[in-house]
A = this chain, B = another copy of it.
Amino acid sequence: MLKEALIGTLCGAVVLTIGILIGHFGIQKNSAPSWVNDVAKDVDEALIQQFLSEVETFQLQENLRELTKVPHMATSPGDEETVKYVLKRWQDPETGLDEAWRQEYEIYLSFPNPTNPNKVTVVNSLDSVLFTVREREVNYTADQNDPQVVQPFAAYSPAGHAKGKLVFANQGKPSDFQHLNKTIDLRGTIAITRYGGEGRGRKAINAAAYGVVGLLVYTDPLDMNDGLMSDTNETYPHSWYLPPTGVERGAYNRDFGDLLTPYLAAKEDTYRIPPEDITGIPPIPTQPIGFQDARTLICALAGEAAPKDWQGGLDCIYNLGGPGFKPTSPFNNSDVKLDIYNEEKIVNSSNVMGVIRGSVEPDRYVIYGNHRDSWVHGAIDPSSGTAVMLEITRVLGRMVKKGKWRPRRSIIFGSWGAEEFGLIGSAEYTEEYFTKLSERTVGYINVDISVFANATLSASAMPSMQSVIFRAAKQVNAPGFDSTSVYDNWIRYTNRTSPAHGIIPRVGYLTGAGSDYAAFVHYLGITSIDMSYTYDRSKTNARIYPAYHTAYDTFDYASRFIDPGFVAHQAVGRTAGNILIRLADSLLLPFNCKDYAESLEDYLNTAVNLYQKDLIAKSISMEPLSKAVANFRKEAEQLDKVIQSSDLANETPLKVRKINDQLMLMDRAFLNPLAFPNEYGFRHVIWASSSSGKPTFPGIADAFAQANSSHLASDWKKVHYHLSVVAQAIDGAANMLKEVI
Task: Please list the residues of chain A having a beta carbon within 8 angstroms of any beta carbon in chain B.
Answer: 8, 11-12, 15-27, 29-33, 35-36, 38-39, 261, 263-265, 267, 269-271, 274, 355, 357-358, 360-363, 365, 410, 412, 431-436, 439-440, 621, 623-624, 650-654, 657-658, 661-662, 665, 668-669, 671-674, 717, 720-721, 723-725, 728, 731-733, 735-736, 740-741
CB nearest neighbor in B for A673: B673
CB nearest neighbor in B for A35: B652
Which chain B residues border A20 with CB–CB below 8 Å? 19-20, 22-23, 26-27
CB distance A654 to B653 under 8 Å? yes
CB distance B264 to A35 under 8 Å? no
CB distance B736 to A439 under 8 Å? yes
CB distance A32 to B27 under 8 Å? no
Least CB distance from A714 to B in Å reads 9
CB distance A29 to B24 under 8 Å? yes
CB distance A271 to B717 under 8 Å? yes
Given the interface contacts A21-B23, A269-B624, does A735 sit within 8 Å of B433 by beta carbon?
A: yes
Q: Would you list 14 pairs from A and B whose C-beta atoms are within 8 A, ordered by A residue?
A: A11-B12, A12-B15, A17-B19, A18-B19, A20-B26, A23-B23, A35-B652, A271-B720, A271-B721, A271-B725, A355-B741, A360-B652, A431-B728, A654-B657
The docked-state distance in angstroms from the alpha carbon of A658 to that of B360 is: 10
CB nearest neighbor in B for A665: B439
Given the interface contacts A654-B653, A732-B433, does A32 sit within 8 Å of B36 by beta carbon?
A: yes
Which chain B residues border A17 with CB–CB below 8 Å? 19
The docked-state distance in angstroms from the alpha carbon of A269 to that of B433 is: 37
Which chain B residues border A623 with CB–CB below 8 Å? 269
CB nearest neighbor in B for A411: B741
The docked-state distance in angstroms from the alpha carbon of A200 to that of B90 is: 61
The docked-state distance in angstroms from the alpha carbon of A5 to that of B410 is: 66
The docked-state distance in angstroms from the alpha carbon of A665 to that of B668 is: 15
CB distance B27 to A30 under 8 Å? no
CB nearest neighbor in B for A670: B435
CB distance B439 to A270 under 8 Å? no
- One complex includes copies of this chain to the number of 2
What secondary structure prevails in chain A residues at the interface with B? Answer: helix
Which chain B residues border A270 with CB–CB below 8 Å? 624, 724, 728
The docked-state distance in angstroms from the alpha carbon of A270 to that of B26 is: 68
The docked-state distance in angstroms from the alpha carbon of A22 to that of B15 is: 13
The docked-state distance in angstroms from the alpha carbon of A363 to that of B666 is: 14
Least CB distance from A727 to B in Å reads 8
CB nearest neighbor in B for A270: B724
CB distance A39 to B652 under 8 Å? yes
The 9 A-B pairs at the shortest CB distance, nearest first, are namely A19-B19, A23-B23, A20-B23, A23-B24, A435-B669, A363-B740, A35-B652, A271-B724, A673-B673
The docked-state distance in angstroms from the alpha carbon of A265 to that of B732 is: 11
CB nearest neighbor in B for A267: B624
CB nearest neighbor in B for A361: B654
Least CB distance from A20 to B in Å reads 4
Which chain B residues border A26 with CB–CB below 8 Å? 20
CB distance A357 to B741 under 8 Å? yes
The docked-state distance in angstroms from the alpha carbon of A21 to that of B15 is: 13
Which chain B residues border A16 with CB–CB below 8 Å? 15-16, 18-19, 22
CB distance A621 to B36 under 8 Å? no
Which chain B residues border A12 with CB–CB below 8 Å? 11-12, 15
Given the interface contacts A35-B652, A652-B35, A728-B264, does A658 sit within 8 Å of B439 by beta carbon?
A: no
CB nearest neighbor in B for A627: B269
CB distance A32 to B35 under 8 Å? no
Which chain B residues border A27 with CB–CB below 8 Å? 20, 23-24
The docked-state distance in angstroms from the alpha carbon of A508 to that of B623 is: 46
CB nearest neighbor in B for A263: B674
Which chain B residues border A435 with CB–CB below 8 Å? 665, 668-669, 671, 732-733, 735-736
The docked-state distance in angstroms from the alpha carbon of A82 to that of B615 is: 40
The docked-state distance in angstroms from the alpha carbon of A365 to that of B658 is: 13
The docked-state distance in angstroms from the alpha carbon of A56 to that of B271 is: 56
Least CB distance from A686 to B in Å reads 14
Least CB distance from A443 to B in Å reads 16
